Amino acid sequence: MRHPDPNVADAPVRSDPDAPVEPRDGEDCDYCGNKRFVLDAQGNLKPCPKCDTAQRWKLASLASFSSRNAFSSKQTFVNFKTSFSGVEDETLVDCLESAEAFANNPYGRWLVIWGERGSGKSHLCAAVDNHLTQAGIPSLFITMPDLLASLREAIELQSNTEQESFTGRMNVFKTAPVLIIDDLGAETSSPWSDSVLFEILDYRYRNRLATMIATNVNPDDFDYRIASRMQDTELSTVIENAAPDYRRRPLSEKR
Ligand SMILES: Nc1ncnc2c1ncn2[C@@H]1O[C@H](COP(=O)(O)OP(=O)(O)OP(=O)(O)O)[C@@H](O)[C@H]1O
Ligand SMILES: [Mg+2]
Ligand SMILES: [Zn+2]
């Protein structure tokens, strides 16, 4: 079919379903024939394990929703301190070890870290996100206020363009291979935001999708349906970060 704009190349004809797709990105791949996806034994489409191009597309598409920034990109496990003035802080060791364990094998697991302001929760979320991204695993690090803002934007777009943006964006959050939600409970909650959160977490819970949550709220104090899923001992590690506010530590302790 000829494109109405003469400056735009002809749209590709897809009459033959087995015809190789033009390599939009990456090398030619003899394993998937540049389709970038392959069928597994169950008949589900999976990113081609050989060229990994679909995996990189996924990484790039999730990045557009991320709350990652220049500051959080520098927060790592290595620069997370667990000892101050020569004294090891057990709670920080536990949090660091749980975050590292999750980052090394996130699949089928949830990690919930809760605690006071400045105790290092966001630092560990960013460290997990950075670790996974370096390992080429598509993860989405987003604060709850950013997640809700993104959904509100999608509703706005949808009413202007009749696109199904809201459902599409919900699916991003429901199905991201690894979802890291920071500042859960920091949003101004409403029946709408509660139902959105429940839909995302319940989907991820039922499908055992890797999820990390950081919050100031004691998990017992969430809506009971969310509190119960968060604390399922078969799936989830819940850990309290009881460290004092790092921001207010004397400068001498931060070096
Ligand atoms: N153990 C630590 N080692 C090094 N830096 C830390 C540590 N804990 C916190 N920080 C730093 O202190 C600042 C505040 O930490 P962070 O943002 O992770 O706190 P938080 O628990 O998310 O707080 P809030 O509840 O206010 O969001 C960040 O710059 C972070 O890098
Ligand atoms: Mg934080
Ligand atoms: Zn391939």
Same domain, 197 and 132: yes
From CA 223, how far away is CA 95, in angstroms rounded? 24
Distance CA(62)–CA(56), nearest Å, equals 10
CATH assignment at residue 205: 3.40.50.300
111 burial (CB, 10 Å; 0-12 / 13-18 / 19+) is buried
Q: With a 6 A CB cut-off, is 75 part of the ligand 1 pocket?
A: yes
Which of 42-46, 90-94, 129-133 is predicted with the least confidence, judged by mean pLDDT? Answer: 42-46
Mutate to test the pocket of ligand 1, among 84, 122, 125, 248 (most ligand atoms within 8 A of CB): 122
Q: Are residues 114 and 228 in the same domain?
A: yes
- CA–CA dist 166, 154 (Å, integer): 5
**Claim to verify: residue 43 and residue 72 sit in the same structural domain:** no
Q: Is the dihedral of CA 90, 95, 96, 98 positive or negative?
A: positive
For atom 5 of ligand 1, the residue with the nearest CA is 80
> Do 33 and 128 sit in the same domain of this protein?
no
Q: What is the tens place of the pLDDT at every residue in 27-55? A: 788 898 888 888 888 888 888 888 888 88
Does 170 share its domain with 222? Answer: yes
Provide the phi-psi class of 115: left if phi over 0, else alpha when psi is between -120 and 50, else beta.
left
In this structure, are 126 and 18 located in the same domain? no
At 49-76, the pLDDT tens digits run 888 888 888 888 888 899 999 999 999 9
- As beta bridge partners, residue 84 has 87
3 occurs within a structural domain: no
72/96 same-domain check: yes
141-165, pLDDT tens digit by residue? 999 999 999 999 888 887 777 667 8
- Give burial (CB, 10 Å; 0-12/13-18/19+) of 136: exposed
pLDDT at 28: 84
Domain range for 132 = 63-254
